[in-house]
Amino acid sequence: MRVVHSYVTGFADLTEFFQRLADDWRGWDGARTWESLESDLKIDASHQHGHVQLRVTIQRFQPDWGNEGWTATGDLTIEPGEQLSRIAQEIKALATGS
């Protein structure tokens, strides 16, 4: 599956999304959401019980197949602080090719 995000900026805002989560490692209210341009990939983040909860959803719409396509969702629990900072750095490296 190909995830299309932004034709101009690539995944720069995904990098910024994770960096903001890492910067706010002590917590925030409510959910924060990042979604790709064509809604192929969605990430919801919340800070609960001293951990960062991520819900990652990937989907493919194929109405020409006689149905609505498919969706898969997974939940991840991440330690705030060092683990979240490392993930933010790795996403930045992946997105920028460095």
Structural domain boundaries in the chain: 12-96
Residue 3's nearest CA partner among 47, 39, 53, 45 is 39
User: For position 28, what pLDDT does the model report?
Assistant: 94
Q: What is the pLDDT along the chain (98 residues), one digit of tens a residue?
A: 444 455 556 688 899 999 999 999 999 999 999 998 888 899 999 999 999 999 999 998 776 666 678 899 999 999 999 999 999 999 999 888 76
Residue 81's nearest CA partner among 32, 23, 1 is 23
CATH number corresponding to 12-96: 3.10.450
* CA–CA dist 48, 5 (Å, integer): 28
Q: Which amino acid does the sequence have at 39?
A: S
